[in-house]
Structure 1
Amino acid sequence: MSPVIRRRLEEIFGLCLALQQRTDLHVFFDIHGHVGVVAVLVRPASTDYSANAEGTRTDLFKDEASFGLDHASYDFLTPDQRNDRCLSELTRLRDALSDFADHAEVSA
């Protein structure tokens, strides 16, 4: 993982922490290292996580991005192209999350 990719991941995680601290929203930050994907999910504090509530949950924000394209299906890309593609996806995710966070209501 390049230092730039790592910094972008840290920025996204930092936004998740800030959102969690200043709102009562439920913020999920998941790293799927085996496939090189980071996912962010935000739900209302009133979300029911019981089994019988499955399918009724509201996602206020849901997005993901690749941070590693090392598997065979990306062999046609050079390492620099893979890095550029991941950085572009992570930047898009960061910007979308930042925009969401800017409009989220601060908890009392």
Structure 2
Amino acid sequence: MANSEEILALYDAILATSKQMHEYARAEEWDALVDKELERRQLVAALRSQLEAGPSPLSPSEQAQSETTIKSILSLDEETRSLAERWMGELDEKLGSIKTSRRLQNTYLAP
């Protein structure tokens, strides 16, 4: 059975990783962001395993602390997702331009 310190430490580690992911998104370091996401998935899996092991050992104040941490994680995720979606939109536009350019080249420059 998990203890409250282990659970709270996992929540804190997930929050710290989420902050790093957000910073990577702001810096447009997409490969680093993906690596951090994989790391965070492992932390989430460990937390899920701890929580499923039995009844929650968290006191009411620790439960409130974990809920505040979860809200912070979700807020960071939303901001990170927004940055990633903007980048993906820009990438999609660039790829569309390249495809159009290739079609034009094939049409007008083909032998």
Structure possessing the higher radius of gyration over alpha carbons: 2
Greater fraction of residues in strand = 1
Q: What TM-score comes out, normalization by structure 1 length? A: 0.37
Relative contact order, higher structure (CA 8 A, sep 6+)? 2
Q: What TM-score comes out, normalization by structure 2 length? A: 0.36
Greater fraction of residues in helix = 2
